Structure 1
């Protein structure tokens, strides 16, 4: 159980330091990951930036994720769910384009229009506050891998064991402090799991706390 996201980030940072992990850049998935990623970046002496993805909602049920797409168009589809619902290719293309644009807009707001850093040959750590379905994490990891990073690590305080196992195919290394079999939702492992505002997230990104 973590007190809050900052506590989780400090514990995660200590674990990564103990493992001797090296990083050139740490990427937080907005908004909730930024309070976690800030202590990690500080401990590893790495630049902190963001990698953004958006869930692709089902027809008439936007909360049900058919997959996720990153700001560069890197996409992950939940093929089983898509097949069960009989979702058309035309709908998938439309929602992918729409949410990719939303992700780009969000990334631009966080970076104030700056481009995503060049990951070619870089050691990159992607941080989230926890992993449930892994939809957005998968899309984010694919963006970083496609950008020719030398080594990609996913680091989270807590996650679903099954999802984390699946994510091992998307990254060179997956590190989680807690992998409880009783996992239901990320928030159950935090005493304080309140919303993080855009302003708060940007403050963490700029070096605040």
Structure 2
């Protein structure tokens, strides 16, 4: 099975998340940028508020697609120290990557949110969505940031992820929902016919569409 695109993946996830439809305590959070088209379809179908969970991956120097950790607002940071030690990555190199990603995190927060505060997640059921999971480091940073607000429950919902990653995440959240769990992931893009990059403009457009539909963001 392959997904046509992120829109179809979100529609299929929404079918599995029907029990959360119109629940007054539930909210949908998307990891930008790729998770936003997926999460928009879920929020639209379930008539739930949509917001963003801003997180940045810390890529290995020279191999930026390989995550050595991630950061989120509020000083949340995760680091894969086993990977860092195995690749002999210095503290100075980590600091340089973190500073760069911190600037990008702040840029996106200004662009996507402006002066609008994020949703209050206290005592709420948070459905956290991305377009797929590889190592899970970015998602763990997001979970750490969400935990700071003391939600009632965290549900991770993704179209595709390796089975071991899903098993590991179940220790950190209340539920993990994954449509496809291939033993050999290779890459998230391999499971989509269209995995073109989601732009900043598309993120802003989808948040605006959610507002027009009456889905509070």
TM-score (norm 1): 0.90
Unaligned runs of 5+ in 1: none
Residues matched between the structures, number: 207
Q: Contact (CA 8 Å) 1:108, 1:114: kept in 2 or not?
A: no
Q: CA deviation at 1:174?
A: 0.8
TM-score (norm 2): 0.87
Q: Contact (CA 8 Å) 1:54, 1:69: kept in 2 or not?
A: yes
Q: Contact (CA 8 Å) 2:70, 2:141: kept in 1 or not?
A: yes
Alpha-carbon distance in structure 2 between the residues aligned to 1:105 and 1:169 = 32
Instruction: Please say if 1:16 is aligned against 2:37.
Output: no
Unaligned runs of 5+ in 2: none
Alpha-carbon distance in structure 2 between the residues aligned to 1:60 and 1:157 = 29
Alpha-carbon distance in structure 2 between the residues aligned to 1:113 and 1:180 = 41
Q: CA deviation at 1:35?
A: 1.0
Q: Contact (CA 8 Å) 2:67, 2:135: kept in 1 or not?
A: no
Structure 1's 64 and 178: CA in aligned 2 closer, same or farther, altered over 3 A? closer
* 1:144 paired residue among 143, 146, 150: 146
Q: Which residue number corresponds to residue 134 of structure 1?
A: 136
Q: Contact (CA 8 Å) 1:160, 1:181: kept in 2 or not?
A: yes
* 1:169 paired residue among 166, 171, 174: 171
Alpha-carbon distance in structure 1 between the residues aligned to 2:89 and 2:51 = 34
Q: CA deviation at 1:89?
A: 3.8
Q: Which residue number corresponds to residue 99 of structure 1?
A: 101
Alpha-carbon displacement from aligned partner over 1:147-172 (angstroms, at most 9, x marks no partner):
21111111001111122222222221
Q: CA deviation at 1:59?
A: 3.9
